[in-house]
Structure 1
Amino acid sequence: MEKRTPVFFFAPFVSSTMRVEPAWIDYNGHMNMAYYHVLFDRAVEEGFSLVGLGHDYMEKRKASFFAAEVHTTYKRELKLHDRVRITLQLVDFDEKRIHYYLEIRHANEGWVAASMEGLSLHVDMETRKVCPFPDDILANLAVMKTTHSRLSQPQALGHIIAIPHKSEFQDALSASGTRH
């Protein structure tokens, strides 16, 4: 029987520092929306490699995980050369899926530029079909989930896209002190 090394996770996981690249800036003078997903994707790769779901996993076990659904909220623009770090919180998992929440934060000032909620599926790369995680990965996900369960649940989790009703909009404007 193979001896398993215990895993330890910070809550939330915090990515390495990343920088907004020149090619990502659009004609509005800020980072184009598509590149927020590049940053999120890099953080997902970093974070879930800790549970064993990195590039080596795909090479050795011929399995990976694919995005099934994402919901992104853009809160504040990022500009050329801004440095960011991405936090990742494992919200839930089962035998074939992982549900997670991420925030892109300005590395120096700490404000949130964007958040993303995601659901990914575990996939057998030879059949290209969804399949169960192996036991060791499930065990690592359980440790990560236990650690991340101590965090408060993000307010944006499960957010529905909608235009607020006029009264909700007016209430929000009144609460913010904005005149219309």
Structure 2
Amino acid sequence: MSLTPYRTAVLPEWVDYNGHLRDAFYLLIFSHATDTLMDQLGLDEAGRARTGHTLYTLECHINYLTEVKEGETVEVRTQLLAHDGKRLHIHHALHRPGEATSLAQSEQMLMNIDTATGRSALFDAAVAQRVKQLADIQRDWPMPEYVQRLIGLPPAK
């Protein structure tokens, strides 16, 4: 199983008064990358209809590293950091195509949801197999720099 990155151009309506990608649209791009991941795991439209399952985002952290300008093409490379029977711990990295330096990074926790009950559910067997395949492919990938970071300031003195 090969993971195809999500790719898009930065649209004019995504750019703010500073001339760069508005912070909310980084999350939109990462959200579309999650949809691409879902498609590749078998939770595309047909898979969601077949299983009655979808993914919900439980938590998301974004690190904005470099300005992105209108009209640029960017891609998101996704890494599966960990998984269990119901959850995926993933990392998205935003890049210019062909470049190693990331523009932004997002760490996310996703939960498999049974849409009939609105509650968490074990992955369907076919989806679980694809998750395992992806985990096996990425097993030896290095841990991204911007994972498990905390936000905060030292206490005021």
How many equivalent pairs are there?
Answer: 155
TM-score, normalised to structure 2, is 0.91
TM-score, normalised to structure 1, is 0.80
* Cα RMSD for the two superposed structures: 1.6
Question: How far did residue 107 of structure 1 move?
Answer: 2.1
Match of 2:120 among 123, 130, 134: 130
Deviations 1:18-49 (A, max 9, x none): 10001001112111101001111111111231
User: Are 1:97 and 2:87 counterparts?
Assistant: yes
User: Are 1:118 and 2:118 counterparts?
Assistant: no
Percent sequence identity is: 23
Larger Rg: 1
Question: Take 2:99 and 2:142, find their aligned partners in 1: how far apart are those partners?
Answer: 22
User: Are 1:141 and 2:134 counterparts?
Assistant: no
1:83/1:108 contact within 8 Å kept: no
Aligned to 2:144: 154
1:64/1:122 contact within 8 Å kept: yes
Aligned to 2:57: 67
Structure 2 gap ranges (5+): none
User: Are 1:26 and 2:44 counterparts?
Assistant: no
Further displaced range: 132-141 or 115-124: 132-141
Question: How far did residue 155 of structure 1 move?
Answer: 2.0
Deviations 1:126-153 (A, max 9, x none): 1111111112211111111011112111
